[in-house]
Amino acid sequence: LSDQQIRAQIVTLQKQLRGQAAAEPPENEAAGDVQAAAAAFLEENKKKEGVVTLPSGLQYQVLKEGDGDKPQATDTVRVHYRGTLIDGTEFDSSLDGEPVEFRLDGVIPGWTEGLQLMPVGSKWKLFIPADLGYGDNPRANGEIRPGDALIFEVELLQIKK
């Protein structure tokens, strides 16, 4: 290829890349809208009575206080839970079946942090900002979008030893 042909190829590629970049903003805009809605929700939510906001941004509300031990990050716990988006859309729940068991350091950071504060027998509502949830990674068949804040109602039933 001559220099002129190479330059023509580069110009063509640059035009294609500009066209792709122009097509991307709506998706980025949508992600920005999700993040803005999540931030606004968490800002308002922290003003509600009974809602505690931790330095990480995690928020929780005690629905029922237990009196058992509190788990460590390396413990396996048994819980019932219901997960929703800030608009109330349910994306996951164990309530219609058996409680679930998992090692606490193997779940999203908001769960790891929040459940370590809960005594066994407690039922809390966790309000989890995206950076302590799934971040920019969509989940649950697309129901959880990049930047979504999550709400989990969690009942800590047992620490498995």
Active site residues: 81, 91-92, 108, 134, 152
d(CA 64, CA 103): 23
- Among 131, 146, 136, 113, CA closest to 154: 113
DSSP summary character for residue 71: P
d(CA 126, CA 62): 9
DSSP summary character for residue 141: G
Task: Please give the C-alpha separations between residue 9 and each of 14, 18, 23, 29, 76, in angstroms, as whole numbers.
Answer: 9, 14, 21, 31, 58
